[in-house]
Amino acid sequence: MHLGVIGCGKMGSALIQGAINAKILQPSTVFGYDKIIAASESFAAATGASICSSLEELSQSCDTFLLATKPYDVAAVLKNLAASRGDRPALVISIAAGITLASLESYLPKSIRVIRTMPNTPALVGKGASAFAVGERATADDANAAEKLLSSVGLALQVPEKLLDAVTGLSGSGPAYGFLIIEALADAGVRHGLPRQDAIRLAAQTMLGAATMVLETSLHPAQLKDMVTSPGGTTIEGLAALEKNGVRHALIEAVSAATHRSIELSKI
Ligand SMILES: NC(=O)c1ccc[n+]([C@@H]2O[C@H](COP(=O)([O-])OP(=O)(O)OC[C@H]3O[C@@H](n4cnc5c(N)ncnc54)[C@H](O)[C@@H]3O)[C@@H](O)[C@H]2O)c1
CATH number of the domain residue 108 falls in: 3.40.50.720
246/158 same-domain check: no
Short-list 173, 123, 162, CA closest to 21: 123
Residue 28 lies in a domain: yes
Q: Among 5, 8, 11, which residue has the most ligand 1 atoms within 8 Å of its CB, making it the best to mutate?
A: 11
| Counted domains in the chain | 2
155/224 same-domain check: no
Interval 18-27: pLDDT, tens: 999 888 999 9
pTM, full prediction = 0.92
Please say which residue of 144, 162, 180 terminates a domain: 162
On whether the CB atoms of residues 92 and 117 are closer than 8 A, the answer is: no
9 φ/ψ angles, rounded to the nearest 5 degrees: -90, -150
Average model confidence (pLDDT) for the chain?
A: 96
> Counting beta carbons within 10 angstroms of the beta carbon of residue 47, is it exposed (0 to 12), middle (13 to 18) or buried (19 or more)?
buried
45/140 same-domain check: yes
- pLDDT for position 69: 97
Q: Among 40, 69, 94, which residue has the most ligand 1 atoms within 8 Å of its CB, making it the best to mutate?
A: 69
188/263 same-domain check: yes
Confidence of residue 265 (pLDDT cuts 50, 70, 90): confident
Short-list 156, 166, 116, 163, CA closest to 136: 116
Confidence of residue 77 (pLDDT cuts 50, 70, 90): very high
56/186 same-domain check: no
- pLDDT for position 266: 81
3-state secondary structure of 160: coil
Confidence of residue 131 (pLDDT cuts 50, 70, 90): very high
Please say which residue of 115, 142, 162 terminates a domain: 162
Residue 167 lies in a domain: no
Domain residues for the domain of 237 are 172-267
Please work out whether the CB of residue 95 comes within 6 Å of at least one atom of ligand 1: yes
Q: For atom 42 of ligand 1, which residue has the closest CA? A: 96
Q: For atom 2 of ligand 1, which residue has the closest CA? A: 121
Please work out whether the CB of residue 33 comes within 6 Å of at least one atom of ligand 1: yes
92 φ/ψ angles, rounded to the nearest 5 degrees: -115, 120
178/103 same-domain check: no
192/146 same-domain check: no
Directed axis angle between helix 174-191 and helix 247-267, to 10°? 150
Short-list 79, 118, 119, 80, CA closest to 99: 118
Please say which residue of 162, 189, 215 terminates a domain: 162
15/139 same-domain check: yes
67/136 same-domain check: yes
Short-list 96, 90, 59, CA closest to 74: 96
Interval 22-76: pLDDT, tens: 889 999 999 999 999 999 999 999 999 999 999 999 999 999 999 999 999 999 9
